[in-house]
Amino acid sequence: MDSLQSPRGTRDILPEDQQYWNFIRQAVAKKATYFGFDRIDLPMFENVKTFTRSIGSGTDIVEKELYEVKRFSEKQSSLESKNNFALRPEGTAGVVRAYIQNGMQYWTQPIKLWYLGSMFRYDRPQKGRYREFQSMGAELIGDESPASDAQIILLAWEVFVELGLDNNLIVDINTIGDDNCRPKIRKALVSYYENNYQDLCQDCLNRLKSNPLRLLDCKNESCNKIKKNAPQTFDLVDENCKKNFKEVLEYLDELNIPYDLNPSLVRGLDYYTRTTFEFRQKEDTERQSALGGGGRYDGLVELLGGQPTPAVGFGLGLDRMVELLKKSRISLPNENISQVCLISLGERAKLIAVSLIQEITRAGFKVTFAPQKDSLKAQLRFANKVNSAFALIIGQKEALDNTIIVKNLDDSSQEIISRNKLISYFNKKLSRVN
């Protein structure tokens, strides 16, 4: 029989890697809380319209990467049918749906929410690109001031600082204007690209008709050359958007956050207006492996059925951050809490050992249990193998007189203590699990 494998583009995160994930999860939770963001948890799947309407039907994410969710017994379905569901490819659309559904427009604005979890995209799997990946996002809904753009970029930046990943980091930033500026931008791009259409890839020929802004997002080599001389969105946006953008940049200067003006940064999702940004390693000039990205999306709440409400947010890619942490050899807070290992010989001793598990864990210490069927020697070998600090040995004699042999596995010294003194002994010798 074939052995079963995890689906392509998914993976198991094994115990040895959990320390990196915990480090990041703790840092994002801490920073989001400091910045006054509240946690929200959202469904892993939503009505497909939540995504098609917001991310945009002409984008790669919707056209090529959405996973449908349905029962095996259901009939054929399409993106257009009413009750179709899709696995979330990102978090913003779900947050906005939740904002509207839960009447958050009536709460004190702005609403500041953060989330963390799996996202699903049918991407081409490679290093740093998975079909299930972990993302942390933050959304600030209900404020249009450039100070909110800056606050959002600062929060993401501070997460990187907290993790020690800011050394080689830079923010790519651009403005892509709002609904007022779009007709002018579209017209300029269409007329420029029409003059170069013979060198465009098939995707870009389609984009020329359906969504000209996306032309700037193409990574194809021949399209890249054309892109270099394309009209720049900053020159085409109206005075209001220009003023806003300059203000955002002033805040970044003030905060000493390094940035690069990148005129082709339109991002892969259609809901953005005005500011767009991405975090990348300085040498990753082609933005092949962005660590995070985001921007303003002032039209999205209305597009999904709510009142017109400005908003801005970002998403970080945790898988890529873990890879970078490993590569950077940053030392992590020590997670190797020392543990004690219970060793027992005989039926009565086994009973005591089990009740000691309860006592020791309630006191906040980490405990493990050696395989009972084994000899004393084999159990001690096990205790050493799993890196225990102490072995607690209960033989027949100890079981009778309520004592325990405590063996220090570092220096092999041992002492006999009475059972009721055990916890106060550990209080002096061991650190607790937080």
Q: How far is the C-alpha of 52 from the C-alpha of 95, rounded, in Å?
A: 15
Looking only at the bridges linking them, the beta strands covering 390-394 and 339-344 are: parallel
- DSSP SS3 for 347: helix
CB of 396 to ligand HAM, least distance (A): 56
CB of 125 to ligand HAM, least distance (A): 8
Q: Are 310 and 143 in contact (CB under 8 A)?
A: yes
Closer CB to ligand HAM, residue 270 or residue 319? 319
Partners of residue 174 on adjacent β-strands: 276
Partners of residue 175 on adjacent β-strands: 275
Partners of residue 135 on adjacent β-strands: 117, 317
Closer CB to ligand HAM, residue 136 or residue 404? 136
Q: How far is the C-alpha of 57 from the C-alpha of 90, rounded, in Å?
A: 15
Closer CB to ligand HAM, residue 52 or residue 135? 135
Closer CB to ligand HAM, residue 318 or residue 356? 318
Q: How far is the C-alpha of 430 from the C-alpha of 434, rounded, in Å?
A: 12
Closer CB to ligand HAM, residue 310 or residue 315? 315
Closer CB to ligand HAM, residue 143 or residue 319? 319
CB of 423 to ligand HAM, least distance (A): 45
Q: Are 69 and 86 in contact (CB under 8 A)?
A: yes
What number of other Cβ atoms are within 10 A of residue 381's Cβ? Answer: 13
Closer CB to ligand HAM, residue 12 or residue 401? 12
Q: How far is CA 93 from CA 40, 322, 329, in A?
A: 13, 25, 35
Q: How far is the C-alpha of 227 from the C-alpha of 160, rounded, in Å?
A: 31
Q: Are 300 and 142 in contact (CB under 8 A)?
A: no
Residue 9 structure tokens = 């583009």
Report the greatest alpha carbon distance in the chain. 94
CB of 135 to ligand HAM, least distance (A): 5
Closer CB to ligand HAM, residue 56 or residue 294? 294
Binding site for ligand HAM (CB under 6 A): 90-92, 121, 123, 128-130, 133, 135, 137, 139, 268, 290-295, 297, 313-315, 317, 319-320
CB of 133 to ligand HAM, least distance (A): 3
CB of 245 to ligand HAM, least distance (A): 17
CB of 279 to ligand HAM, least distance (A): 7
Q: Which residue is nearest to ligand HAM (CB)?
A: 317
Which letter, b or e, does each residue of 236-249 get, where b requires 16 or more Cβ atoms within 10 Å of its Cβ? bbeeebbebbebbb
CB of 267 to ligand HAM, least distance (A): 6
